[in-house]
A and B are shown apart, each in its own frame.
Chain A
Amino acid sequence: MRRFIRTLVSMGLVVNLVLVLIGSQALAEKTTLKWLDWEDVTQRRANSQIIQAFEWMHPDIKVEFVGYSGGLESQQKLLAQMVAGTAPDVLTGWDHWTWTWAGKNQLLDLKPYVKKYLTDEQISQFYPAIWNWFVYEGKRIAVPKYTSPMVLFYNVDAFKEAGLGYPHKDWTWDDLLNVSQKLTKKENGRVVRFGFQESITLYRLVMWIWQNGGGIHPEGNRSICILDEPEAIEAMQFIRDLIWKYNVSPRPGQALTTATDEAQEANFMAGRVAMQEQGSWPMAYYPEQCKFEFNVAHLPKGPVKRATMLTTDCFAVYKNTKYPDLAAELAVFASGPVGAWWNQKYAAMQSALKPMAEQFPGMFPEKYNAQVFQEAMAYGIPSPVINKQKEFIDMFNVARDQALVLNKISVEEAMKEVVPKINKMLQEP
Chain B
Amino acid sequence: MTGLQREEEWTGYLFILPWLIGFGVFVIGPIIASFFISLLKADMLTPSKFVGVSNYAQSIHDPLFWKSLVNTCYYTFTTVLLGIAAGLGFALALNQRIKVTNFFRTIYYLPSMVSIVALSLVWVWLLNPEIGFVNSVLGGLGLPQPAWLFSETWAMPSLIIMSIWFVGPNIVIYLAALQGVPDYLYDAIEIEGAGTFKKFGYLTFPMITPAILLTLIMNTIWSFQVFAQAYVMTDGGPNNVTLTSILYLYRQAFQYFHMGYASALAWLLFVVILAITLIFFKSSSIWVFYEAEIKK
Please state if B254 and A252 are interface contacts (CB–CB under 8 Å).
no
Least Cβ–Cβ distance between A401 and chain B, in angstroms:
4
**19 further A-B pairs in the complex, CB-CB below 8 A; given A79-B44, A406-B239:** A72-B231, A72-B255, A75-B255, A79-B45, A100-B257, A104-B46, A105-B46, A252-B238, A253-B150, A254-B129, A256-B128, A390-B251, A390-B255, A391-B256, A398-B237, A401-B237, A402-B238, A406-B150, A406-B151
Query: Given the complex, which residues of A lie within 8 Å of B151, measured CB to CB?
Result: 406
Which residue on chain A has the smallest CB distance to residue B41?
Answer: A429
Interface residues of A in 236-293 (CB under 8 A from B): 252-254, 256-259
B165-198 contact mask (Cβ, 8 Å, vs A): 1 or 0: 0000000000000000000000000000000000
Q: Does B94 contact A (CB under 8 A)?
A: no
Please state if A252 and B45 are interface contacts (CB–CB under 8 Å).
no
17 cross-chain CB contacts under 8 A? A76-B254, A83-B45, A105-B46, A253-B130, A253-B147, A253-B148, A253-B150, A258-B233, A258-B234, A390-B251, A390-B255, A391-B256, A397-B237, A398-B237, A398-B240, A405-B237, A406-B151
In the assembly, what is the distance between CA of A254 and CA of B132, in Å?
10
- With A76-B254, A104-B257, A106-B45: A402-B231 Cβ-Cβ less than 8 Å: no
In the assembly, what is the distance between CA of A75 and CA of B238, in Å?
24
Please state if A190 and B45 are interface contacts (CB–CB under 8 Å).
no
Please state if B254 and A75 are interface contacts (CB–CB under 8 Å).
yes
Please state if A253 and B128 are interface contacts (CB–CB under 8 Å).
yes
Which residue on chain B has the smallest CB distance to residue A429?
Answer: B41
Q: Does A82 contact B (CB under 8 A)?
A: yes
- With A252-B129, A254-B130: A79-B150 Cβ-Cβ less than 8 Å: no
Q: Does B226 contact A (CB under 8 A)?
A: no
Query: Given the complex, which residues of B lie within 8 Å of A72, measured CB to CB?
Result: 231, 250, 254-255
Which residue on chain A has the smallest CB distance to residue B258?
Answer: A391
Q: Looking at chain B, what size class is its interface with the partner chain?
A: 20 to 34
Please state if A401 and B44 are interface contacts (CB–CB under 8 Å).
no
In the assembly, what is the distance between CA of A99 and CA of B236, in Å?
24
Please state if A388 and B150 are interface contacts (CB–CB under 8 Å).
no
Least Cβ–Cβ distance between B261 and chain A, in angstroms:
12
A378-406 contact mask (Cβ, 8 Å, vs B): 1 or 0: 00000000001011001001100110011
B202-245 contact mask (Cβ, 8 Å, vs A): 1 or 0: 00000000000000000000000000000101111111100000
Chain A residues within 8 Å of B, Cβ to Cβ: 71-72, 75-76, 79, 82-83, 100, 104-106, 190, 252-254, 256-259, 388, 390-391, 394, 397-398, 401-402, 405-406
In the assembly, what is the distance between CA of A405 and CA of B45, in Å?
37
Q: Does B269 contact A (CB under 8 A)?
A: no
Which residue on chain B has the smallest CB distance to residue A250?
Answer: B130
Query: Given the complex, which residues of A lie within 8 Å of B46, measured CB to CB?
Result: 104-105
Query: Given the complex, which residues of B lie within 8 Å of A388, measured CB to CB?
Result: 256
Identify which of B255, B256, B257 gathers the most chain A CB atoms within 10 Å of its CB: B255
Choose from B45, B148, B152 the contact partner of A104 (Cβ within 8 Å).
B45
Residues of B contacting A: mostly: loop
Query: Given the complex, which residues of A lie within 8 Å of B129, measured CB to CB?
Result: 252-254
Please state if A257 and B45 are interface contacts (CB–CB under 8 Å).
no
Please state if A256 and B124 are interface contacts (CB–CB under 8 Å).
yes
Least Cβ–Cβ distance between A244 and chain B, in angstroms:
13
B66-88 contact mask (Cβ, 8 Å, vs A): 1 or 0: 00000000000000000000000
Choose from B130, B234, B238 the contact partner of A190 (Cβ within 8 Å).
B130
Least Cβ–Cβ distance between A130 and chain B, in angstroms:
26
Least Cβ–Cβ distance between A259 and chain B, in angstroms:
8
Least Cβ–Cβ distance between A421 and chain B, in angstroms:
11
Query: Given the complex, which residues of A lie within 8 Å of B150, measured CB to CB?
Result: 252-253, 257, 405-406
Please state if A258 and B124 are interface contacts (CB–CB under 8 Å).
yes
Least Cβ–Cβ distance between B218 and chain A, in angstroms:
23
Least Cβ–Cβ distance between B158 and chain A, in angstroms:
12
Which residue on chain A has the smallest CB distance to residue B234?
Answer: A258
Which residue on chain B has the smallest CB distance to residue A401?
Answer: B238
Q: Which 7 A-B pairs have the closest CB atoms?
A: A253-B129, A252-B150, A390-B255, A401-B238, A104-B45, A401-B239, A83-B44
In the assembly, what is the distance between CA of A401 and CA of B130, in Å?
20
Query: Given the complex, which residues of B lie within 8 Å of A252, measured CB to CB?
Result: 129, 147, 149-150, 238
In the assembly, what is the distance between CA of A82 and CA of B44, in Å?
9
Please state if A104 and B255 are interface contacts (CB–CB under 8 Å).
no
